[in-house]
Amino acid sequence: MLGIQTIVSRETNPLSPAVITVGAIHGGTVANIIPDQVQMLLTVRAFDPNVREHLLAAIKRQLDAEATAADAPAMPSIKIIGGTDAVYNDPELTAHITEVLGRDLGAGSVREMPAQMGSEDFSQYGRAGAKAVLLHIGAVDPAELASGRTLPGLHSPQWAPQLEPTLRSMVTAEVVVLTDLFTSPR
């Protein structure tokens, strides 16, 4: 299993981001009985679909090699379920929305974020041909931001933006963007 964690560092171009996360391992019920099966749940992410396919093939190769080395009675069963593609923000639309939000909400209220490896089903809009932009809207106590501490991400159980300012920001940003998009000639 440790070998899986080296696939990204040893087999991918560092300029083509990739992530393999072992999120859960389930096997057995007590310490002194070898289970007849173990389930390992992974998340595999990459911006490039070819890189993702390579990661999946490398995981299978390593798991098969481990099973062979252990003289396992069968090769591992691998099921790929519930995956989604990387979100792609249309550059032209992103620039326009950034400008509009900066103009109406104040330039200090809007920041472009670097590309992230989060998995979101929002990506399917872009895959279907729609020009799309995924916005992250939230409000954090300014003291938290000033602390320099890394804030928990969206899929973390510790993620807890301040409710009232976040809702206000979300509704305001939505109204500003939709008003612009519905009234601007395109």
pLDDT in tens, 13-59: 999 999 998 989 999 999 999 998 999 999 898 888 899 999 999 99
Residue whose tokens read 């109204």: 175
- The pLDDT > 90 percentage for the chain reads 48
Which comes out higher in pLDDT, residue 117 or 92? 92
Query: Rounded to whole angstroms, how far apart are CA atoms 71 and 67?
Result: 6
Q: What separation in angstroms does the CA of 33 have from each of 27, 70, 76, 136?
A: 10, 17, 20, 47
Q: What separation in angstroms does the CA of 76 have from each of 20, 26, 115?
A: 18, 14, 34
pLDDT at 103: 94
Find the mean pLDDT for residues 117-142.
Answer: 82
Query: Rounded to whole angstroms, how far apart are CA atoms 57 and 61?
Result: 6
Residue 9 — pLDDT band, cuts 50, 70, 90? very high
Residue whose tokens read 């593609």: 85
Which comes out higher in pLDDT, residue 135 or 145? 135
Single-letter residue type at 116: Q
What does pLDDT average to over the chain? 88
Phi, psi for residue 45 in degrees, rounded to 5:
-130, 145
* Cβ–Cβ under 8 Å, residues 78 and 60: yes
In the predicted model, is pLDDT for residue 126 greater than 80? yes
* Cβ–Cβ under 8 Å, residues 96 and 172: no
Q: Please write the tens of the pLDDT for every residue from 145-183.
A: 788 888 787 778 888 788 888 899 899 999 999 999 999
Which comes out higher in pLDDT, residue 120 or 119? 120
Q: How many residues does the chain have?
A: 186
Q: Model pTM?
A: 0.70
Q: What separation in angstroms does the CA of 169 have from each of 113, 164, 166?
A: 17, 9, 5
Q: What separation in angstroms does the CA of 152 have from each of 23, 82, 118, 133, 159?
A: 17, 24, 13, 22, 5
Q: Which helix (H) or strand (E) holds 180?
A: helix 163-183
